[in-house]
Amino acid sequence: MPNDLGNPLAPRRGECRGQGRGDEPGRPDVLRLLAGRNEGLEREIGHITLEAVRAGHDGGAPRACRQDRQQQPGGRLGVGVAADAAVVSEAMRLHPPAWTLERTAVADDDVCGTPVPAGSMVAVLPYLIHRNPAVWPNPAGFDPDRFLSPAPERHRYAWIPFGGGKRGCIGAGFARQEAVLVLARICRHYRLDLVGPGLPRPRGFVTLRPAGPVRMRLTRRD
């Protein structure tokens, strides 16, 4: 079977304590995918463009947007895509869409000496994990070079903007690819300048979002 987005939606058994997915396999996942895309990606695009502009040194254009953007035959983006992907990854490090993840302990456990009784709610916060100075030097700074080759080897869960493991976001790859393409398109055609003091304080709902509006001015490039 091809490895596409539909594979994870196929009916499976034994995932949730031996229970199947019911008479409509995949429907809840499709709804979560669509809702998560609308809820998370639109917020994240704002974070990405803002961080890129704040880090830029060419009239508001980030380094990733100042590179040659000649389009290759077939509509594929050329030079600069790797830099755009690094900008997206770093923005998601600072502003993870899934800023907190809650799970219920199904059995008694122990985490680094802390007892976790069965039935306890356990919260994992990517927002804090992504600011661990032992993993991320200058954790509050915006530095896309962290994600450019050669990048240092990190723990697989050091960067989890969409969660991880079996319950990671089913649309993570889709959302990240879309964000890279949106950033590339915007920067190809427009120069972005901040209008106002910058990013408001974050506010956590289902996804992480600015507490107030983020205003930018778009100027079409020649």
Q: pLDDT higher for 47 or 112?
A: 112
Tokens representing 18? 């031996």
Rounded CA gap, 150 and 156, in Å? 16
Average pLDDT estimate for 111-131: 94
Q: Find where tokens 């995918």 sit.
A: 33
* pLDDT value of position 124: 92
On the CB side of 172, CA atoms within 13 Å amount to 18
Amino acid letter at 139?
P
Per-residue pLDDT tens digits for 174-193: 888 888 888 888 888 888 88
- Number of Cβ within a 10 Å radius of residue 25: 14
Is the peptide bond preceding residue 150 cis, with omega within 30 degrees of 0? Answer: yes
Of all residues in the chain, what percent carry a pLDDT higher than 70?
68
* pLDDT value of position 93: 94
Domain ranges across the chain: 28-220
Average pLDDT estimate for 66-74: 41
Per-residue pLDDT tens digits for 88-110: 899 999 999 889 999 999 999 99
Q: pLDDT higher for 79 or 161?
A: 161
* pLDDT value of position 67: 43
Q: pLDDT higher for 199 or 172?
A: 172
Rounded CA gap, 152 and 131, in Å? 16
CATH code, residues 28-220: 1.10.630.10
* pLDDT value of position 13: 45
* pLDDT value of position 160: 94
Rounded CA gap, 86 and 81, in Å? 9
